[in-house]
């Protein structure tokens, strides 16, 4: 190992590094341990859940970035924590514990890097986090060289040359931070106004009304919280843009720079402004990258064929810099502290000396995917699109058109009668929606970056590189002119980000379809819904089956006419409140004799009903019986209608018609109908009484109103679902069974027994 001046300058120094668990911080830590073993490193890391900061640091050293260090030092790197080479301080940026009093260098790399965080969170991490680091350093008594990792994009939306120096603006960072913090409080208050709450509840009721009041309340509160967060995200983006920055990220990073400048007159300060940091050119190994950053989602979406156009200009520059060049420049800067009160500024970028234009980037990436197409599970080898560079306005218009068509198609499919075809359409629409949402998100986030006509200059950084001692050039050089973009993109970067995807899909193979498994167990129950699940019938139809035989011919005709007239109102009610709908239908039993209804079921309609009973349902019931489970029918139908299937079940919960002393139905019910949340609460209550283990139990249902019942058990099974339930089942990976519409559907119960 040659001992150039960088090693010499940093030998024996104590370096505090924040953000070591992130991309740039990890690369810096690796170089400190690999190339500067005579430094002592202090890491500020926060615990995550039950994993302590020290455990996180140890896990880090087991990762791929540290492979060459393990090769050199042996597999167990824990020694670095025992021999004082690395010390871990557990702390969050908002609560930093006491720091050592003899820090020589601080590299503050931790930050909130998402472009659109809620504005208060952006300020909390990027501005207050920085001020807290500086305050903790001050309190420790250390007077180190403070290196602040910022971003080249603090330059904002300006056009043309961007100089390495103090930003030219007069924005008051203290006031902006205070107001950002107050905004959350104000939005929390606004979100609780009667008008807003009524809107959240109305929206939630439209979506979850059929399920029940608890689901509506939970959804309304979820909507309120999302509303607050979205308003804070919007405020961050718009406040940033209104002051000339691209988004909340660059705005808060710019505010942090000014805060550093104004609070560190007594310290040597270096401000580092990398552009878009991507995978390593050489160190720790070519292609090393941690997590997906800015360009990766776009490159992968292009490879998957999901990016038909892009809002960039072909001769515009995407300013990309490999992470090892950023690390090298940082270490070189760390070895040259400037005078206190005169911060040094370094823009670490490629655009000034070796610009990568969008047109070339596109060609190189496209050629790569033509030669090595991505393989999609259901589409085979993907053909990548041709970009025509229609400009951002046209791309925006195309996305808008897609969004409009998507919304219209979605309304139609959700309102259509359930069938396999409707569910397939819904699945296709969901896939398209996912792609459109991706396009919209990346269009909104990246459009200001891709169309920005920024020209970063890097004279100071280049001078720093040229001033390197000859021994430092090889291990610590950062001359961007050496980057061959074809080699970097086609041999290093794109293969590095595609490889984990390919490995993952090879490991995963085709995704298995979730299937129902009936396991023998004690204290286990299988709950079945009736209409739409066990039987292909519905409440109105069964009402007519039951009621018409009792009436004479003129009354029959009158009844059918009245039901037909009431139907639109009933169906509209059912969409909002299933309980009210059932009560409306059951009112019409007023005056009917209960004994007569039972006789009609037994003698006249059992055969019809059994033709509607699914043979698959009967088999499922039997499997549960054989497995020793208790089998229960829970239905909103009136009890007489359950008589044809009564022998299948150990227990039946149905709507009980109230009867007068003369045995006539009053049109009322003895207790509220068993629908939506009521089914789940009945099941929990009964499970408590009977000692059933719901986590091992099963529920079978067909409609979104049954979600609480399905969620109450460990093994939900969805049968011929409506569109809403089929979407939930797909997301939750619940088994979906098609019991109706197959030839077995017409097999009567006797045949199935
Ligand atoms: N990546 C780029 O393209 C790019 C470009 C220019 C500049 N930069 C700058 O480079 C720096 C590092 O970026 P990155 O890409 O490495 O980001 P990253 O991978 O997201 O890592 C962020 C790091 O900050 C830490 N952190 C965030 N909030 C924290 C908190 N409240 N308390 C303690 N630690 C916290 C994270 O710790 P956890 O692991 O605990 O979350 C993580 O270690 C940032 O300042 C960024 O602005 C990045």
Q: How far is the CA of 179 from the centre of ligand 1 (A)?
A: 24
Q: How far is the CA of 332 from the centre of ligand 1 (A)?
A: 21
How confident is the model over 470-505, as pLDDT tens digits? 999 999 999 999 999 999 999 999 999 998 877 776
Q: How far is the CA of 38 from the centre of ligand 1 (A)?
A: 26
Q: Whose CA is nearest to atom 21 of ligand 1?
A: 22
Torsion of CA 612, 615, 621, 626, to 10 degrees: 160
Query: In whole angstroms, what is the distance from residue 114 CA to residue 129 CA?
Result: 15
Length in residues, the chain: 753
Q: What pLDDT is attached to residue 294?
A: 76
Q: What pLDDT is attached to residue 465?
A: 97
Q: What pLDDT is attached to residue 375?
A: 87
Q: Which ligand 1 atom is the nearest neighbour of the CA of 125?
A: 31
Residue entry with tokens 């610009």: 355
Work out the angle between the directed axes of helices 213-242 and 248-263 (0-180°, nearest 10): 60
How many C-beta atoms lie closer than 10 Å to residue 597's C-beta?
22
Ligand 1 binding pocket includes 294 (Cβ within 6 Å) = yes
Q: What pLDDT is attached to residue 557?
A: 86
Q: Whose CA is nearest to atom 19 of ligand 1?
A: 22
Q: What pLDDT is attached to residue 749?
A: 33
Residues of the chain with pLDDT under 50: 1-3, 742-753
Question: Which residues on adjacent β-strands are paired with residue 698?
Answer: 526, 715
Tell which one of 17, 27, 108, 109 to mutate to probe ligand 1, the residue whose CB is within 8 A of the most ligand atoms: 109
Q: What pLDDT is attached to residue 376?
A: 79
Ligand 1 binding pocket includes 66 (Cβ within 6 Å) = no
Q: How far is the CA of 107 from the centre of ligand 1 (A)?
A: 12
Q: Is residue 545 within 8 Å of 559, Cβ to Cβ?
A: no
Start-end of H helices in 377-489: 392-415, 420-451, 459-466, 470-476, 485-486
DSSP per position, 224-253: HHHHHHHHHHHHHHHHHHHTT-SSHHHHHH
> Each residue of 97-129: b (16+ CB within 10 Å) or e?
eebeeebbbbbbbbbbbebbbbbbbbbbbbbbb
Ligand 1 binding pocket includes 117 (Cβ within 6 Å) = no
How confident is the model over 539-567, as pLDDT tens digits? 888 888 888 887 888 888 888 888 889 88
Ligand 1 binding pocket includes 212 (Cβ within 6 Å) = no
Q: Is residue 129 within 8 Å of 426, Cβ to Cβ?
A: no
Task: Tell me which H or E stretch contains 454.
Answer: strand 454-456
Q: How many helices (H) and strands (E) does the chain have?
A: 30, 21
Q: How far is the CA of 51 from the centre of ligand 1 (A)?
A: 19
Torsion of CA 104, 110, 115, 117, to 10 degrees: -130
Start-end of H helices in 264-391: 296-303, 323-334, 358-371
Q: How far is the CA of 609 from the centre of ligand 1 (A)?
A: 64
Ligand 1 binding pocket includes 19 (Cβ within 6 Å) = yes
Ligand 1 binding pocket includes 291 (Cβ within 6 Å) = yes
Q: What pLDDT is attached to residue 14?
A: 98
Q: How far is the CA of 18 from the centre of ligand 1 (A)?
A: 9
Q: Which ligand 1 atom is the nearest neighbour of the CA of 126?
A: 45
Q: What pLDDT is attached to residue 752?
A: 31
Query: In whole angstroms, what is the distance from residue 152 CA to residue 161 CA?
Result: 12
Q: How far is the CA of 23 from the centre of ligand 1 (A)?
A: 7
Ligand 1 binding pocket includes 151 (Cβ within 6 Å) = yes
Ligand 1 binding pocket includes 254 (Cβ within 6 Å) = no
Ligand 1 binding pocket includes 21 (Cβ within 6 Å) = yes
Ligand 1 binding pocket includes 53 (Cβ within 6 Å) = no
Tell which one of 17, 21, 22, 121 to mutate to probe ligand 1, the residue whose CB is within 8 A of the most ligand atoms: 22
Q: Whose CA is nearest to atom 35 of ligand 1?
A: 110
Residues 6+ apart with CB under 8 A from 493: 278, 279, 287, 289
């Amino acid at each position: 190992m040659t001992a150039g001046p960088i090693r010499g300058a940093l030998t024996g120094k104590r370096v505090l590094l924040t953000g070591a668990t992130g991309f740039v911080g990890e690369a810096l830590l690796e170089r400190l341990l690999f190339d500067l073993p005579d430094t002592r490193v202090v890491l500020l890391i926060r615990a995550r859940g039950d994993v302590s900061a020290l455990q996180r640091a140890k896990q880090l050293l087991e990762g791929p970035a540290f492979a060459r260090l393990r090769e050199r030092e042996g597999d167990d790197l824990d020694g670095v924590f025992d021999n004082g080479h690395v010390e871990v301080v557990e702390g969050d940026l908002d609560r930093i514990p006491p720091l050592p009093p003899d820090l020589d260098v601080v590299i503050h790399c931790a930050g909130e890097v998402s472009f659109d965080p809620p504005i208060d969170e952006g300020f909390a991490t990027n501005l207050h986090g920085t001020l807290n680091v500086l305050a903790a350093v001050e309190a420790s008594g250390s007077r180190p060289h403070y290196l602040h990792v910022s971003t080249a994009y603090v330059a904002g939306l300006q056009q043309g040359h961007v100089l390495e120096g103090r930003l030219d603006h007069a924005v008051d960072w203290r006031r902006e931070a205070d107001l950002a913090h107050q905004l959350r409080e104000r939005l929390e208050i606004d979100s609780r106004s009667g008008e807003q709450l009524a809107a959240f509840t109305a929206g939630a009721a439209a979506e979850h009304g059929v399920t029940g009041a608890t689901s509506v309340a939970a959804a309304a509160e979820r909507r309120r919280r999302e509303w607050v967060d979205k308003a804070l995200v919007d405020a961050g983006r718009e406040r940033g843009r209104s002051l000339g920055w691209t988004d909340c990220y660059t705005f808060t990073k710019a505010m942090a720079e000014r805060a550093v400048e104004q609070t560190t007159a007594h310290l040597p300060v270096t401000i580092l402004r990398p552009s878009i940091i991507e995978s390593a050119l050489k160190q720790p190994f070519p292609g090393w990258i941690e997590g997906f950053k800015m360009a990766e989602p776009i490159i992968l979406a292009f490879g998957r064929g999901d990016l038909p156009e892009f809002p960039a200009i072909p001769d515009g520059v995407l300013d990309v810099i490999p992470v090892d060049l950023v690390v090298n420049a940082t270490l070189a800067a760390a070895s040259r502290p400037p005078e206190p009160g005169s911060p040094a500024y370094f823009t670490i970028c490629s655009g000034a000396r070796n610009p990568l234009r969008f047109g070339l980037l596109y060609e190189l990436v496209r050629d790569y995917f033509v030669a090595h197409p991505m393989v999609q599970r259901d589409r085979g080898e993907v053909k990548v699109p041709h970009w025509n560079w229609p400009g951002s306005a046209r791309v925006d218009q195309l996305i808008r058109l897609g969004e409009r068509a998507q919304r219209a198609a979605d309304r139609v499919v959700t309102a259509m009668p359930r069938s396999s075809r409707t569910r397939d359409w819904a699945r296709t629409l969901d896939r398209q929606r996912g792609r459109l949402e991706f396009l919209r998100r990346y269009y909104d986030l990246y459009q200001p970056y891709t169309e920005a006509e920024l020209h970063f200059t890097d004279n100071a950084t280049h001078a720093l590189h040229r001033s390197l001692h000859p021994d430092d050039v090889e291990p610590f050089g950062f001359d961007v002119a050496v980057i061959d973009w074809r080699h970097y993109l086609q041999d290093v970067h794109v293969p590095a980000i595609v490889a984990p995807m390919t490995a993952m899909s090879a490991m995963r193979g085709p995704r298995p379809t979730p299937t129902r498994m009936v396991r023998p167990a004690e204290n286990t129950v299988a709950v079945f819904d009736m209409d739409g699940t066990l039987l292909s019938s519905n409440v109105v139809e069964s009402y007519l089956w039951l009621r018409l035989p009792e009436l004479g011919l003129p009354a029959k005709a009158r009844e059918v006419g009245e039901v037909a007239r009431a139907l639109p109102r009933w169906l509209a009610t059912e969409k909002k409140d299933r309980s009210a709908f059932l009560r409306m239908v059951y009112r019409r039993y007023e005056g009917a004799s209960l004994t007569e209804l039972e006789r009609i079921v037994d003698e006249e309609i059992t055969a019809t009903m059994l033709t509607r009973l699914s043979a698959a349902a009967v088999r499922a019931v039997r499997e549960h019986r054989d497995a020793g489970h208790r089998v229960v029918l829970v239905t909103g139908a009136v009890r007489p209608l359950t008589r044809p299937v009564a022998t299948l079940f150990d227990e039946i919960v149905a709507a009980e018609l109230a009867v007068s002393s003369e045995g006539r139905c009053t049109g009322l019910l003895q207790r509220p109908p068993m629908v939506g949340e009521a089914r789940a609460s009945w099941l929990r209550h009964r499970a408590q009484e009977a000692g059933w283990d719901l986590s091992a139990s099963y529920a079978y249902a067909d409609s979104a109103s049954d979600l609480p019942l399905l969620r109450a058990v460990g093994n939900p099974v969805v049968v011929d679902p409506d569109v809403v339930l089929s979407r939930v089942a797909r997301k939750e990976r619940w088994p979906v069974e098609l019991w109706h519409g197959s030839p077995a559907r017409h097999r009567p119960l006797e045949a199935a027994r």
